[in-house]
């Protein structure tokens, strides 16, 4: 029996928010999609605070790579984006803007990323800085990476889960924590005095206040996957799938149709709610929900036409996932029409505690 998996990061809500009438969310399309769903399956995936907020990445890593532990992203992202082969450990270097909210420094991405000219202006100083810590600075397209021959003894919270939160000791784990902090301070010092930020301030743009390295990993082959096509907006997911045996044209960004693929399991990551979930912007979350469910419903119908008879909805929160399975063929039997369809229990499926 073939399955269509839909991972929806940020579909979960704190239970008190879910019960709040002022949320104004229209759950009708989700209830319709979930008609006949089996009982909610709960799976705790995050057991270390360094992965808080990244349960969806942990789920993907387990399902595609068939591995546990810290998801390995940077080396696979580099490869999937067409970067040349490298044997070194690879880290992705994200740009950081400091936002002061209620007297607390919150890290997030700048509204305007570094331009090619700004990268050129910063390049030599950043390169000299990271070399002090055993790294080389690599660039591919508009992204910066760090590489080193000897692995850094450190795991770092994925940037998508660190965004909209302050930096804390929970963001790191490993013997090289102090080296990370020292590198962060030196890079921040470069940016603070740079002409790049002076020019940005003069133009009314947000400053670049730091960098966040994450995803330290080396490229390697993964166990073969039974999934036949993968759609996701993060290219490291493509890298995992390709190293697990999928041809590159069967791993794409999220779109309105599945890639051409042989009959079998399909996987789509529908991430339209994740940013508002991370920011606890529940009004925006409610506005985006109908379009997210519309996308899932459309792709589920197309998957069913490809003989994927099981629809698997995976709602991720900060530390765990809630999953329901809907057998699309169960409604076709002679007696199914006389049975009362099960209604999706929204509180059990969506409710999250301790966010």
Task: Output the pTM of the full model.
Answer: 0.94
| CA 177 to centroid of chain Cα atoms | 23
DSSP per-residue string spanning 276-306: HHHTT-HHHHHHHHHHHHHHHHHHHHHHHHT
Q: Which two tokens stand for residue 46?
A: 């995050």
* 3 state DSSP class of 26: coil
Q: Which two tokens stand for residue 55?
A: 């349960």
**What span, in angstroms and rounded, lies between the C-alpha atoms of 104 and 37?**
43
> What Rg do the C-alpha atoms of the chain give, in angstroms?
22
Q: What per-residue confidence (pLDDT) applies to 331? A: 54
- The upper half-sphere exposure of residue 9, i.e. CA atoms within 13 Å in the direction of its Cβ, equals 24
Q: What per-residue confidence (pLDDT) applies to 338? A: 46
Q: What is the longest distance spanned by two Cα atoms in the chain?
A: 74
Q: What per-residue confidence (pLDDT) applies to 328? A: 78
Q: In the chain, which stretches have pLDDT less than 50?
A: 334-335, 338
């Amino acid at each position: 029996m073939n399955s269509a998996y839909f991972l929806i990061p940020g579909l979960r809500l704190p239970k008190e928010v879910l019960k709040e009438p002022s949320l104004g969310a229209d759950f009708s399309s989700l209830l319709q999609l979930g008609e006949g769903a089996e009982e909610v399956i709960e799976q705790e995936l995050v057991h270390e605070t360094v992965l808080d907020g990244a349960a969806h990445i942990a789920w993907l890593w387990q399902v595609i790579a068939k591995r546990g532990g810290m998801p390995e992203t940077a080396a696979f992202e580099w490869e999937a984006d067409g970067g040349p082969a490298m044997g070194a450990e690879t880290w992705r270097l994200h740009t950081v803007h400091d936002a002061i909210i209620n007297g607390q420094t919150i890290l997030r991405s700048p509204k305007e990323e570094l331009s090619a000219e700004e990268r050129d202006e910063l390049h030599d100083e950043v390169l000299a800085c990271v070399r002090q810590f055993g790294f080389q600075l690599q660039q591919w397209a508009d992204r910066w990476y760090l590489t080193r021959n000897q692995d850094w003894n450190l795991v770092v919270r994925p940037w998508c889960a660190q965004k909209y939160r302050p930096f804390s000791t929970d963001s790191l784990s490993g013997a090289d924590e102090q080296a990370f902090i020292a590198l962060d301070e030196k890079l921040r010092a470069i940016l603070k005095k740079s002409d790049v930020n002076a020019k940005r301030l003069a133009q009314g743009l947000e400053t670049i206040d730091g960098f966040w390295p994450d995803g330290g990993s080396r490229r390697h082959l993964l166990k073969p996957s039974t999934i036949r096509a993968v759609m996701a907006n993060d290219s490291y997911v493509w890298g995992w799938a390709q190293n697990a045996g999928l041809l590159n044209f069967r791993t794409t960004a999220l779109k309105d149709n599945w890639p051409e693929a042989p009959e079998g399991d399909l996987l789509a990551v529908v991430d339209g709610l994740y940013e508002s979930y991370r920011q606890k912007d529940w009004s925006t979350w409610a506005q985006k929900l109908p379009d997210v469910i519309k996308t899932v419903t459309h792709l589920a119908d197309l998957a069913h036409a490809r003989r994927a008879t099981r629809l698997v909805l995976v709602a991720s929160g900060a530390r765990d996932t809630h999953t329901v399975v809907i057998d699309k063929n169960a409604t076709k039997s002679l007696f199914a029409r006389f049975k009362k369809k099960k209604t999706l229990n929204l509180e059990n499926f969506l409710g999250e505690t301790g966010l």
